[in-house]
Structure 1
């Protein structure tokens, strides 16, 4: 059974397990960057939804590019050093 469900645009939802919300976000961002790179560059307005045990993790109707840039920097449980330099999620690359 999956603890979290990630949906990107009209693609089939992807279920996965994680130890907590922070780990789920790190996984989701990596999954999006690996599997949905086309949407990030060609269709950044695609909607991404991450649903967890306690409800919605993403904002309602959040764009895929906004989620990848916003959430890792805002979530208190995420260590920014888990993202590699030059990654789209580091503050020096996304304008934060």
Structure 2
């Protein structure tokens, strides 16, 4: 899988580097706790294979964003589903395989 280079962004007019960094950090704050929120809302179970997890092995349970947008984190959890590591990998592989069969390139 090829990764795209981030697009260059225009510098913010009149802002210092410290202000820009602070704004970026503030913008990322709500994103960091969505995993715990999803685990509380949806429980310690894989939405695809129904494997149950406990506190000791919950690190193998991941949160999948249904729309693919990691910034779309509604408080009701409607964009999340808890998937085990295997099912999460399978979910993302299906998109790549479908693109391959459709003749789309990942460049």
TM-score w.r.t. length of structure 2: 0.23
Q: Which has the larger radius of gyration?
A: 2
Relative to total residues, which structure has the larger strand share, 1 or 2?
1
Higher RCO (CA-CA < 8 Å; seq separation 6+):
2
